[in-house]
Amino acid sequence: MNHKLVATALLGAALLAGCTKPNTPTPTPGTQTEFGKLQALKPGTQDTINTKLKVNIVFVGYRQTLPGQVATARQVSTADFDQILPGSYDAVNRIPSAYGRTEKTGTSFDFDYNYVFADQTFEDDFFKFVQTKEVSQPAALTSREKIFNCQGDPTCTTPAGNITRAIDANNNIVVDALKTENWLADNVSRVGVKPGEYTIYFVNWYDRPDFKFHSYARLDAKDTDTGAPFGTYSSRRLIAWGGSARENAPAQRVWFYDLSANPDPWTDAIDVTNPDVDGDEVPDYRMPPIWEYGTRKANIGYGRKVSPDLALVARYTAINLLFTPSPIYRAALTPPEMPDTINLDVHVEQGDGAADPATVLKNGLLQDRVKVLQPFATFKQSSKTTALDGDLADVYKCFFGVSEDTCSPDYADFSGEKLFQFGVKELRETYKTTPAGTYNLPIYLFNDSTNSQGGLLGVAYDDGETGTQSFVYSFLTPDLLDFGYGFTDTTVHETGHHLSLSHPHDGYDSEQNLSYGPSGDFHFVNTGDQSATIMSYNDLSRTFGQFNLDSQYRYLTAAYLNNTNAILELVRRANKAGSVSSAAQSADSKFVQAKTKYDALDYLGAAQLAHDGYRSVLSAAKSAGVSVTAYKWYENLNGLEGLSVGQGAKMRFSPTFKAQTGVVAFPEETAYQRKLRLSK
């Protein structure tokens, strides 16, 4: 043995050991609290889940303005988008916020935009696809397309002189909107987009030699109860579609918008002559068909460029109203103890001689369709039918504002107050026998045998003081039934509101602190209805779409997080932290995992983990003897007999959809929207 070599090796090892730092554990991230170190939970804090959200904007058939060149009317400059698109969005609960104190939803976004110009092969394949017989068919001109050609009376023999091109009846097709959306979703990887990411496709067929005049449609769309073929109505022709939830398939988050389609009737683009189309004496900004951009004719396309208009659509329709909208109500329902069970408490108020309720309401479908919005609660349903007569008939008629002296002149809401109080009285009686942990969602269906009102289908009422959701009202009259409406779809829509969701045509821009809807400078946002959601007004969807589900599951994730924070604060104040610390640590780990899923767009998975964490803390708190109670709006009403709490705030309510600074509650619909909805 070479002792010298061994000694040298031992000496080297000793020197090396002396130079090596002792092993030290990596510090656990997080903040030290009475419950131990927590990473995601912040006891007593109203927190916000912020995420970086990628939005792909893909141009199909558009050409980009080259550096140094002057932008033409139909070219796209991404600089226009950079100037107009928002950098962030911070969602609020809109109706509670309209009472004077902005209430954050707990979800915010920083946007990362990716602009893509599809290559020629993709364009060729797409426009070949939409012309196949499985996707499109030749179509006669609709009455509204004739109105565009004539700019007025659809019987003209010569097209109006102030339009650039008339729609050619011999070269016109109607394209299946859903099949188009699915093709674009299935082919996103061809434009460098990861499937499942939020993607806007801006389509332009006009500048190609194979161009055909065209519109999109959902021709198979029918009312659930009556079978009325809403999808065939000329008022329901489309230039946009997206947000469909495909059964047993990964989420697709695609919305396309095609200005080369025939002018959009839903945003009054068929009228390119008159500045004011809704009669409120304010010019209405809408997007003409692409061939009118840059025209020298006397119409709304004069001097217009398509690029900034597309950016406006991306911001105020796609992003604010479809991708990352603010809800109208809290998703939590009864904070801080959210319900285990939701009972759809259906009251059919049956007018003498009105339609048989069994023919205009499918109770099973109602429950099946709404339960996806609260997937961790057990749904039940109760139903009773009473005659629409006597005192009930009187308060029902008051809801439609007969006169102040016959209704509720001593209340701010003189017309609706008596109906509201009628419901509160019934709800209090119901809760006397309701098991703990069950939330009664009161739904009143007024099946009237007379045309007692002008066409309102429904409304999701709040409590009149805090902006908390209260009652769902649905209305059916002979005129509405004749047009094709039943109760099921309306009630799903209004229950969607009650459970949080907004319309896709009105909302809030958080960076600008601006509430807006389809009116004036924002008339064009009515295209938000051209998406797969029963929350729209065009009657083309029966269920909640992918954008709805994404939004709701984000709201729920934030609600579980913040209500867990609230419960932990109750525990701390009760000096019970030691009894709940183990549950808090376990829940914190679940919320960390939930954030990872949330960032990866797995919103249902995030909400599931958040729900599990919330429930474990709630259970531990109750086991420790901490009082955690659900908020009961019907027990906290100022000005009703037997109850007295602090002075309620006055809601900022707008009877129109005109844009306003701050958070404003908008009407369920305006007279102009109702006229559009009731047109064929």
Confidence of residue 410 (pLDDT cuts 50, 70, 90): confident
Per residue in 440-488, pLDDT tens? 999 999 999 999 888 999 999 999 989 999 999 999 999 999 999 999 9
Q: Tell me: pLDDT of 555 over 70.
A: yes
The predicted pLDDT at position 400 comes to 83
Q: Tell me: pLDDT of 542 over 70.
A: yes
The predicted pLDDT at position 10 comes to 40
The predicted pLDDT at position 22 comes to 54
The predicted pLDDT at position 131 comes to 98
Q: Tell me: pLDDT of 645 over 60.
A: no
Per residue in 618-631, pLDDT tens? 999 999 999 999 99
Which of 133-147, 282-296, 637-651 shows the lowest per-residue confidence on average (mean pLDDT)?
637-651
Q: Which residue has the tokens 């707990």?
A: 106
Which of 190-204, 300-314, 382-396, 638-652 shows the lowest per-residue confidence on average (mean pLDDT)?
638-652
Interatomic CA distance for residues 494 and 470, integer angstroms:
12
Per residue in 38-86, pLDDT tens? 999 999 999 999 999 999 999 999 999 988 888 899 999 999 999 999 9
The predicted pLDDT at position 641 comes to 53
Interatomic CA distance for residues 133 and 98, integer angstroms:
50
Comparison of pLDDT for 100 and 38, the residue scoring more: 38
3-class DSSP state of 544: coil
The predicted pLDDT at position 255 comes to 98
- Residue 279 burial by Cβ neighbours in a 10 Å radius (0-12, 13-18, 19+): exposed
Q: At what angle do helices 177-186 and 120-129 cross, to 10 degrees?
A: 150
Q: Tell me: pLDDT of 661 over 60.
A: yes
Average pLDDT, the chain: 93
Q: Tell me: pLDDT of 9 over 80.
A: no
The predicted pLDDT at position 404 comes to 53
Confidence of residue 18 (pLDDT cuts 50, 70, 90): very low
Reference 534, options 524, 556, 549, 517; nearest CA is 549
Share of the chain above pLDDT 90, in %: 86
Q: Tell me: pLDDT of 490 over 70.
A: yes
The amino acid sitting at 668 is E
The predicted pLDDT at position 4 comes to 43
Task: Report angle CA 236, 237, 240 to the nearest 5 degrees.
Answer: 105
Average pLDDT over residues 177-195: 98
Q: Tell me: pLDDT of 642 over 70.
A: no
Confidence of residue 422 (pLDDT cuts 50, 70, 90): very high
Which of 3-7, 125-129, 656-660 shows the lowest per-residue confidence on average (mean pLDDT)?
3-7
Interatomic CA distance for residues 306 and 298, integer angstroms:
17
Average pLDDT over residues 404-415: 73
Confidence of residue 25 (pLDDT cuts 50, 70, 90): low
* Contact yes or no for 251/603 (Cβ under 8 A): no
The predicted pLDDT at position 23 comes to 62
Q: Tell me: pLDDT of 184 over 70.
A: yes
Average pLDDT over residues 593-617: 98
Q: Check the CA dihedral 222-226-228-229 and report its sign.
A: positive
Which of 19-28, 199-208, 573-582, 590-599 shows the lowest per-residue confidence on average (mean pLDDT)?
19-28
- If you write DSSP's letter for every residue of 171-231 in order, what string do you get? GEEEEEHHHHHHHHHHTGGGGT--TTSEEEEEE--TTSTT--EEEEE-TT---TTT---GG
The predicted pLDDT at position 640 comes to 64
The predicted pLDDT at position 29 comes to 81
The predicted pLDDT at position 15 comes to 40
Q: Tell me: pLDDT of 7 over 60.
A: no
The predicted pLDDT at position 651 comes to 86
